[in-house]
Amino acid sequence: MPQLVAGCAEAGVPAVGLWRGPVRAYGAEATARLVRSAGLAVSSLCRGGFFTAADPAGRAAALADNRAAIEEAATLGTGVLVLVSGGLPAGDRDLAGARERVADALAELTPYAAAHGVRLALEPLHPMYAADRCVVSTLAQALDLAERFPAERVGVVVDTYHLWWDDTVAGQLARAGATGRIAAFQLADWVTPLPEGVLLGRGPLGAGCVDLRWFRERVEAAGYRGPAEVEILNSGQWARDGAEVLAEAIRGYRRHVL
Amino acid sequence: MPQLVAGCAEAGVPAVGLWRGPVRAYGAEATARLVRSAGLAVSSLCRGGFFTAADPAGRAAALADNRAAIEEAATLGTGVLVLVSGGLPAGDRDLAGARERVADALAELTPYAAAHGVRLALEPLHPMYAADRCVVSTLAQALDLAERFPAERVGVVVDTYHLWWDDTVAGQLARAGATGRIAAFQLADWVTPLPEGVLLGRGPLGAGCVDLRWFRERVEAAGYRGPAEVEILNSGQWARDGAEVLAEAIRGYRRHVL
């Protein structure tokens, strides 16, 4: 955490999205002090969610964990909590039912989030994660869910890695903009072959086939003025020196996104 | 090929979908005689396609290969050639352009297919293949392309593995039925974790989270009366005894699809 914060501050990066694991390891209060003292903002906290358990105990545990995530976001001073909805419970084949449980969880959590000044940001994940990670697979689905709630309470995350393949995404980005729903904008490139488990194979900016600049222009045209987060889940990248990866991310952003 | 044909005939399976590789290895004419003598029909030939090369030489090679596939289909006595559209050429980020080249190729090939009594069956593949295998990712996209041509010339393939995650699929199946576009119906289940390269990880019927029976009922409600093909690309399954796998596929079909 200190290396990340120092690196961002030194490079002139004004804001950083944080993940709960490292935040908890370093301590939420300590992280908040560290980030603040470096003049850095926290753009979002990633992630809450995993709402799709069908049994009461699983459901209660998920809600408790999300209340904790909301508190952590508030401690960090970010107004955006990214939500990954969760996959299908074992043996369950009812995607529509699982998606409805996501809506139920949002209804439960929005008052608590509002009281903490936190907006819930529903992230559609690529359809290859629909079974085991996120039953919300398209921007249209995420907006269908988000629009059941006030825009200031529930937004959506636009992540190029998850949405690039969808030929309806231009229209859905315009819809998201018109209704003020874009809560976060995340960037990664699509590279193949995908690794086993398909979790840690995202590409550095410019390494793959996503028209990243097109996405930036579209979210800006849709009225989004918030930060762009470079989020590259990639075991190869993680094994490298953090300062080098940060420098490359900045170069990649300037060259392929701006 | 003889083992497959004998196994299907013995089990009372009336039709089988064949792949070009094994057909070519055994010989198209010899395969046709073998299948015919066993009283077996060929439900489809898989696959033509890979239409997305942008350079003239790559494009000409693809068209020539597809004409050969059409001839092979005619030799085998099947009226259905499954098409996998192809991915993005290296360095290309223009998905819409690649999809337009698919339409161009269909326009080129339909007269030749018609002359051979073969219907082109465009298969939408799961979005995880959009970069390297198939830029047509949803049933809606496949229908948008197919509907530029007469229904008897260009249809679509409904494959549960590729379409199960899509919350718009019920409406698109109805659309496909109303316009007489369902040319083939293929079955595999979705199991995780996905293997590296995500090609050979399809699940046996009932092993995963796809509501296979729902799909069968929907394609039947849409008016489809053709064969159902069990198509499980899975290296683990392929390493096993063919007769056992066939027997399991039949049991799985009776239990989870019928």
* B115 interfaces chain A, CB cutoff of 8 Å: no
Do the chains contact at A165 and B126, CB–CB below 8 Å? no
CATH number, domain with residue B167? 3.20.20.150
Q: Nearest Cα to B214, choosing from B157, B162, B173, B155?
A: B173
The residue length of chain A stands at: 258
How far apart, in Å, are the Cα atoms of A106 and each of A128, A179, A242, B226?
Answer: 23, 18, 35, 43
Q: Nearest Cα to B159, choosing from B104, B203, B109, B116?
A: B203
pLDDT value at residue B252: 98
* A130 interfaces chain B, CB cutoff of 8 Å: yes
In chain B, what residues touch A193 (CB-CB under 8 Å)?
132, 196-198
Measured distance CA(A68)–CA(A90) in Å, rounded: 25
Nearest-by-Cβ selection for B165 from A130, A192, A194: A130
Mean pLDDT score of chain A, rounded to an integer?
97
pLDDT value at residue A148: 98
pLDDT value at residue B35: 98
pLDDT value at residue A123: 98
% of chain B exceeding 90 in pLDDT: 100
**Mean pLDDT for the stretch of residues A98-113:** 98
Measured distance CA(B11)–CA(B5) in Å, rounded: 10
Q: Of B52, B136, B167, B189, which to mutate for an interface test with A (greatest number of A Cβ within 10 Å)?
A: B167
* B165 interfaces chain A, CB cutoff of 8 Å: yes
pLDDT tens, position by position, A195-239: 999 999 999 999 999 999 999 999 999 999 999 999 999 999 999
- B83 lies in which domain range? 2-256
Do the chains contact at B209 and A93, CB–CB below 8 Å? yes
Nearest-by-Cβ selection for A197 from B165, B194, B210: B194
* A194 interfaces chain B, CB cutoff of 8 Å: yes
**Mean pLDDT for the stretch of residues A178-189:** 97
pLDDT value at residue B253: 98
* A55 interfaces chain B, CB cutoff of 8 Å: no
pLDDT value at residue A119: 98
Do the chains contact at A131 and B96, CB–CB below 8 Å? no
Q: Nearest Cα to A41, choosing from A180, A240, A227, A253?
A: A227
Residue A26, both tokens:
């370093």
Q: At A16, is the pLDDT very low, low, confident or very high (cuts 50, 70, 90)? A: very high
Domain count, chain A: 1
SS3 letters across B87-105? CCCCCCCCHHHHHHHHHHH
Q: At A104, is the pLDDT very low, low, confident or very high (cuts 50, 70, 90)? A: very high
Do the chains contact at B126 and A131, CB–CB below 8 Å? no
* B134 interfaces chain A, CB cutoff of 8 Å: no
pLDDT tens, position by position, A59-82: 999 999 999 999 999 999 999 999
* B213 interfaces chain A, CB cutoff of 8 Å: no
CA distance A47 to chain B (A): 21
Q: Which residues contact B55 (CB under 8 A, 6 or more apart)?
A: B89
pLDDT value at residue A125: 98
The segments of chain B whose pLDDT lies below 70 read: none
Q: Nearest Cα to B189, choosing from B121, B122, B248, B129?
A: B248
